[in-house]
Amino acid sequence: MKKVSELVKFLKDPHAKKVQNYKERYQELDDLSHVAAEIGDAAAYKSLEAEMREVFFDYLTAVVVDSIYRLVPHVLIIWIISLKWPYITVPFVDWQVSILGVYLSAYLLFHAGKWLEKPIKSKLLKLGLVNFARASEVTK
């Protein structure tokens, strides 16, 4: 079960460890370059800045590859859906919309809803309109 969990984590975010290592290494080099600048060691500062550039570009590469890995499942889903339904007809106005537009709109609405969920819940709780409690908490 633990191996399955590790596999799911890897498939969800395959470059998380690399990105985190690059961030930590970059922060470490940045701190060292500040120390080198404070003590006035120009050679060490130049060396650290050159290494920082290399680490930064490695970090950017890992982020871009990670972004591509996150994008590929969405492209595959759109492709599979578009094989069956290339267009969707909007009721009442009789417009035909591409499946790409529908998918992107649904994706953006989903994430906007997740982003707005916490502020809306807190406003409703302040007004006393809704009590959000887990079923396990209510039965106790």
pTM as predicted: 0.59
- Rounded Cα distance between 19 and 61, Å, is 9
pLDDT score for 136: 59
Give first-to-last CA distance, the chain, whole Å.
Answer: 31
- Rounded Cα distance between 110 and 97, Å, is 19
Question: Would you give the DSSP letter of residue 41?
Answer: -
32-54 pLDDT, tens digit per residue, is 999 998 988 889 889 999 999 99
pLDDT score for 112: 92
pLDDT score for 126: 79
Rounded to an integer, what is the distance from CA 120 to the centroid of its chain? 22
Q: What are the 10-residue block averages of pLDDT along the chain, 140 residues in total?
A: 74 78 92 90 90 94 87 88 88 87 90 88 76 58
pLDDT score for 28: 94
pLDDT score for 135: 57
- Rounded Cα distance between 31 and 55, Å, is 14
